[in-house]
């Protein structure tokens, strides 16, 4: 046997002294040095008593060491579970308990808060700080820089990523080695990546975009990454002369366009700019091309499938579309009620099938059966159409998911917090257009009779309970929520009512 994910993405670079990671402090980590680091981590993790197939929950800041945990999990046959660094302890408890994680790796500052949870789960707790220090690296430093790769099959699980709908508990999307590998190989070909490429990487690595798109593509191509801890216009502008490519969310591009230092001369040597995770406004496409001469390449993917479509590398990159199905990926538009395929031009639900599509939801057979058909097509929950030229258009979602700055926000989670607050009868959270983030959350409150709500106190409660990116941009008070004859809140009317709240003026 072998271990396809490790062998193809990581092991293929064994012994190479070529640069893999270029760091903000000027240091460079070669492919070989990175693999030695990850081998030591694999030893350290297995020394805690883990076995192949065990889950490793990771909530740490972006760093070379954090990326090495991913490589170590692949080499040791462990299932990698990256978690958003903004999640609170309350939020983490569900993911860790549901996944049955046997090892939790967190920032040192979170150790005390997570220790009780680790004890409850009978899990080991190790730390890794942003500067690379911590109990994990202390243990790893004593280990061999060589690790005998654990045999795994391409259909074995490689990672969990948690996702959710607007109701119910978050779902652990199970991604296999083949899911990740097939997508990386396809994107390398479609986007023309080679070992000469240097990717400007300012995305988080707990998310599909930064980890399984950006990082995997660079590993598959043998290129280098400028690993920035987060997005900063200053850092992007400083490092761009050393890059050939960049992947980002729409917010990256709108903020760069607001900086007069971001010019055509600065980007003249660049080969490719890619955008995803949220819709890119046609205005941004136009401004970017006018300023730089580059046409941003927009694509479409999701947690359960990685990438499904892409605008062409050669050919027209059409604003307002996400291009065509990737090779090996089938996409169709269907009637939500009957499942029948609709003619081009008609709007319906988007379904996809291919080697990139996940295995199912962890311990949720009913959810899996509801969204993953017997014939392999996955019902994405997005609404779209295919135009006369074959371009795919995303026209909305049949769930109320909000995507703000590339992050998924699920209204029900916020509503539960709002509804608990004193003086609140009920609430609704909707996504409305925002010039910087594409979309932002707006909270609508209905107060109890005779009790004017304390908006500041309510917002403070939300901030204490939920990650920052989930906080509503504003709270609005209404006498009642609009409902249909069945009593269901008509969120579409609320979205229309407040559509220009953040875009006018």
Span 238-261, mean pLDDT?
94
Place of tokens 């243990």: 139
Band (164; pLDDT cuts 50, 70, 90): low
The rounded mean pLDDT for the chain is 92
Question: pLDDT band for position 486 (50/70/90)?
Answer: very low
Q: Of 377, 390, 388, give the one whose Cα is nearest residue 350.
A: 377
Q: What is the pLDDT of residue 485?
A: 43
Residue 46 banded pLDDT, cuts 50, 70, 90: very high
Q: What is the pLDDT of residues 131-142, one digit of tens each?
A: 999 999 999 999
pLDDT at 221: 97
Secondary structure of the chain: what % helix, strand, coil (to 5)?
35, 25, 40
Pinpoint the alpha helices (H) of 50-121.
Answer: 64-76, 89-99, 111-121
pLDDT at 56 over 70: yes
Q: What is the mean pLDDT of residues 207-232?
A: 96
pLDDT mean over 148-154: 96
**pLDDT at residue 363, as a whole number:** 94
Q: What is the pLDDT of residue 166?
A: 40
Residue 41 contacts residue 63 (beta carbons within 8 Å): no
Structure tokens at 464: 């204490």
Whether 308 has a pLDDT exceeding 80, the answer reads yes
Long-range pairs for 43-47: beta carbons < 8 A, 24 or more residues apart: 43/140, 43/143, 43/144, 43/147, 44/126, 44/136, 44/139, 44/140, 44/143, 45/72, 45/73, 45/76, 45/78, 45/103, 45/136, 46/76, 47/139, 47/143
Report the C-alpha gap between 424 and 446 in whole angstroms. 6
**Per-residue pLDDT tens digits for 68-91:** 999 999 999 999 999 999 888 888
pLDDT tens for 433-457 read 998 888 999 999 999 887 789 999 9
Mean pLDDT lowest among 39-53, 320-334, 395-409: 395-409
**Residue 275 in contact with residue 254, Cβ under 8 Å?**
no
pLDDT of 169 higher than 80: no
Average pLDDT over residues 419-441: 90
Q: How much is the average pLDDT of 166-172?
A: 69
Provide the pLDDT for residue 277. 81
Least trusted range by pLDDT, from 152-166, 278-292, 373-387, 475-489: 475-489
- Does residue 397 register a pLDDT over 70? no
Phi then psi dihedrals of residue 249, to 5 deg = -100, 165
Model confidence band, residue 165 (pLDDT cutoffs 50, 70, 90): very low
- Which residue would you say has higher pLDDT here, 485 or 208? 208
pLDDT digit string, tens, across residues 265-296: 999 999 999 998 877 777 789 999 999 999 99
Please say if the pLDDT value at position 370 is more than 60. Answer: yes
pLDDT at 396: 65
198-201 and 245-248 beta bridge pairing = parallel
Question: Do residues 409 and 431 lie in contact, with contact meaning Cβ atoms separated by under 8 Å?
Answer: yes
pTM over 0.75: yes
Work out the average pLDDT over 201-224.
Answer: 95
Q: Which of 480, 473, 478, 479 is nearest to 501 (CA)?
A: 473
pLDDT of residue 67: 97
């Amino acid at each position: 046997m072998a271990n396809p994910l490790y062998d193809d993405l990581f092991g293929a670079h064994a012994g190479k002294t070529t640069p893999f990671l270029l760091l903000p402090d000027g240091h460079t980590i070669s492919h070989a040095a990175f693999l030695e680091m990850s081998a030591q981590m694999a030893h350290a993790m297995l020394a805690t008593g883990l076995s192949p197939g065990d889950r490793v929950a990771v909530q740490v800041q972006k760093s070379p060491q954090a990326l090495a945990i991913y490589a170590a999990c692949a080499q040791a046959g462990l299932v990698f579970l990256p978690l958003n660094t903004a999640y609170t302890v309350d939020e983490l408890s569900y993911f860790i308990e549901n996944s049955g994680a046997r090892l939790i790796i967190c920032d040192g500052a979170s150790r005390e808060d997570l220790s009780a949870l680790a004890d409850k789960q009978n899990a080991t707790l190790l730390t890794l700080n942003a500067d690379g220090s911590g109990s994990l690296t202390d243990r790893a430093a004593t280990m061999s820089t060589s690790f005998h790769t654990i045999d795994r099959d391409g259909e074995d699980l490689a990672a969990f990523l948690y996702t959710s709908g607007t109701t119910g508990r978050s779902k652990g999307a199970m991604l296999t080695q083949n899911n990740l590998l097939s997508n990386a190989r396809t994107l390398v070909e479609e986007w023309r990546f080679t070992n000469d490429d240097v990717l400007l990487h300012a995305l988080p690595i707990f998310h599909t975009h930064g980890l399984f798109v950006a990082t995997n593509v660079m590993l598959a191509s043998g290129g280098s990454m400028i690993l920035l801890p987060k997005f900063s216009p200053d850092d992007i502008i400083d490092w761009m002369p050393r890059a050939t490519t960049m992947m980002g969310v729409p917010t990256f591009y709108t903020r760069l366009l607001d900086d007069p230092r971001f010019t055509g001369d600065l980007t003249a040597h660049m080969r490719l700019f890619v955008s995803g995770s949220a819709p890119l406004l046609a205005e941004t496409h136009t401004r970017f091309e006018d300023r730089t001469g580059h046409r941003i390449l927009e694509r479409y993917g999701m947690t359960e499938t990685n990438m499904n479509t892409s605008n062409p590398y050669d050919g027209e990159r059409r604003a307002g579309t996400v291009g065509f199905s990737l090779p090996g990926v089938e996409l169709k538009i269907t009637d939500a009620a009957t499942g029948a395929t609709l003619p081009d031009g008609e709007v319906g639900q988007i379904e996809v099938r291919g080697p990139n599509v996940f295995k199912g939801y962890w311990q949720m057979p009913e959810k899996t059966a509801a969204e993953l058909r017997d014939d392999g097509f996955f019902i994405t929950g997005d609404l779209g159409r295919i135009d006369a030229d074959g371009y795919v258009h995303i026209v909305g979602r049949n769930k109320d998911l909000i995507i703000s700055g590339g992050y998924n926000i699920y209204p029900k989670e916020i509503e539960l917090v709002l509804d608990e607050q004193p003086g609140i009868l009920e609430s609704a959270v909707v996504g409305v257009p925002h010039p910087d983030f594409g979309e932002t959350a707006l909270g609508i409150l209905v107060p109890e009779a005779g009790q004017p709500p304390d908006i500041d106190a309510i917002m403070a409660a939300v901030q204490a309970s939920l990650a920052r990116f989930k906080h509503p941009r504003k709270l609005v008070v209404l006498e009642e929520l609009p409902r249909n004859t069945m009593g269901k809140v008509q969120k579409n009317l609320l979205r229309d009512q407040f559509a220009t709240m953040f875009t006018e003026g």
